[in-house]
């Protein structure tokens, strides 16, 4: 950012602009706007904001089963999220890239099975290989009780390559679940989290069988 090197910008301001710029979807302009917004707030308001940031790191963990985000429960040893614990169809696993995708699908109310969150997609360009994702844990979850595996990775090159990679691993297992993927009504190249309700429910209802090797 050119203006960040400007000598008349105080260093703490530059630092905060840089920190905001590292967030997804935040360009230099927005980072500057957020920074000046912060300078105008009272110390109490900023304290609340920074507490919320720290608290997310301290109190949120990933579910041991599906890797969805969950609040730590100090009374329990196991870290199993409300979805995995809940009264769901446990014969279905919907594979998504991000916890935000789970929130979108849950808000739509069109699915009542389980999830598995990969936390990304295979992307050699970004240095993300299969080992950086929660793929091993997914394969371990798939046994004869699983009747359907739904790929809901993003309709991007990375999302589709990831689905194909996982589908191959599943085909090597001694199990026979139906494998489907969301209908391509979703805008190509877009993230699942940005799809609207009707697009998403259509994509679920019209999901088609997905078999890479055939
Ligand atoms: Zn879970």
* Distance from the alpha carbon of residue 22 to the mean position of ligand 1, in angstroms: 28
Residue-level pLDDT at 188: 60
Greater model confidence, 149 or 2: 149
* Distance from the alpha carbon of residue 80 to the mean position of ligand 1, in angstroms: 5
103 is a domain residue: yes
Does residue 126 contact residue 98 with C-beta atoms inside 8 Å?
A: no
Are residue 115 and residue 203 in the same domain, yes or no?
A: yes
78 is a domain residue: no
Are residue 102 and residue 196 in the same domain, yes or no?
A: yes
Greater model confidence, 86 or 198: 86
Are residue 55 and residue 97 in the same domain, yes or no?
A: no
Are residue 97 and residue 195 in the same domain, yes or no?
A: yes
Question: 93-113, pLDDT tens digit by residue?
Answer: 999 999 999 998 998 889 999
Residue-level pLDDT at 190: 62
Are residue 97 and residue 20 in the same domain, yes or no?
A: no
* Distance from the alpha carbon of residue 167 to the mean position of ligand 1, in angstroms: 21
Using the predicted structure, report yes or no on whether residue 200 has a pLDDT greater than 90: no
* Distance from the alpha carbon of residue 183 to the mean position of ligand 1, in angstroms: 25
69 is a domain residue: no
What's the whole-number average pLDDT of the chain?
89
Residue where one domain finishes, among candidates 59, 74, 99: 59
* Distance from the alpha carbon of residue 39 to the mean position of ligand 1, in angstroms: 39
The CATH number of residue 12's host domain is 1.10.8.420
Question: ipTM strictly over 0.95?
Answer: yes
Are residue 93 and residue 196 in the same domain, yes or no?
A: yes
What whole-number percentage of the chain has pLDDT above 70? 90
The CATH number of residue 98's host domain is 3.40.1360.10
Are residue 98 and residue 50 in the same domain, yes or no?
A: no
Residue-level pLDDT at 185: 61
* Distance from the alpha carbon of residue 143 to the mean position of ligand 1, in angstroms: 17
* Distance from the alpha carbon of residue 79 to the mean position of ligand 1, in angstroms: 8
* Distance from the alpha carbon of residue 66 to the mean position of ligand 1, in angstroms: 4
Question: 49-88, pLDDT tens digit by residue?
Answer: 999 999 888 899 999 999 999 998 888 888 999 999 999 9
188 is a domain residue: yes
Are residue 46 and residue 92 in the same domain, yes or no?
A: no
135 is a domain residue: yes
What is the domain count for the chain?
2
Lowest mean pLDDT among 7-11, 35-39, 88-92, 164-168: 7-11
For the chain, the first-to-last Cα distance in angstroms comes to 49
Residue where one domain finishes, among candidates 43, 59, 75: 59
Question: 162-194, pLDDT tens digit by residue?
Answer: 999 999 999 999 898 999 998 866 566 566 666
* Distance from the alpha carbon of residue 179 to the mean position of ligand 1, in angstroms: 20
Residue-level pLDDT at 168: 94
Residue-level pLDDT at 212: 54
* Distance from the alpha carbon of residue 115 to the mean position of ligand 1, in angstroms: 7
Are residue 105 and residue 154 in the same domain, yes or no?
A: yes
Are residue 134 and residue 202 in the same domain, yes or no?
A: yes
Are residue 94 and residue 175 in the same domain, yes or no?
A: yes
Residue-level pLDDT at 91: 97
Q: Domain limits at 141? A: 87-209
* Distance from the alpha carbon of residue 67 to the mean position of ligand 1, in angstroms: 6
* Distance from the alpha carbon of residue 105 to the mean position of ligand 1, in angstroms: 15
* Distance from the alpha carbon of residue 43 to the mean position of ligand 1, in angstroms: 37
Residue-level pLDDT at 214: 46
169 is a domain residue: yes
67 is a domain residue: no
Which residues have beta carbons under 5 A from ligand 1 (an ion)? 63, 65-66, 68, 81, 84
Average pLDDT over residues 135-140: 96
Are residue 23 and residue 99 in the same domain, yes or no?
A: no
Residue-level pLDDT at 149: 96
């Amino acid at each position: 950012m050119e203006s960040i090197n400007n000598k008349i910008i105080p260093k703490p301001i530059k630092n905060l602009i840089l920190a905001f710029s590292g967030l997804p979807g935040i360009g230099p302009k927005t980072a500057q706007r957020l920074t000046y917004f912060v300078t105008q707030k009272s110390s109490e308001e900023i304290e609340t904001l920074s507490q919320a940031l720290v608290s997310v790191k301290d109190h949120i963990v990933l579910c041991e089963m599906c890797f969805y985000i969950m609040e730590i429960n100090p009374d329990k040893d196991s870290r199993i999220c409300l979805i995995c614990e809940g009264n769901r169809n446990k014969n279905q696993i919907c594979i998504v890239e991000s916890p935000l995708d789970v929130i979108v699908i849950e808000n739509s109310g069109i699915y009542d099975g389980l999830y598995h969150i990969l936390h990304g997609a295979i992307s050699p360009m970004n240095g993300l290989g299969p080992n950086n994702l929660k793929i091993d844990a997914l394969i371990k979850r798939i046994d004869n009780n699983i009747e359907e595996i739904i790929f809901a990775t993003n309709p991007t090159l990375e999302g589709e390559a990831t689905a194909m990679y996982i589908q191959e691993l599943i085909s090597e297992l001694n199990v026979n679940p139906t494998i489907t993927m969301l209908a391509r009504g979703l805008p190509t190249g877009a993230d699942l989290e940005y799809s609207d309700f009707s697009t998403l429910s259509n994509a679920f209802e019209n999901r088609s069988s997905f078999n890479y090797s055939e």
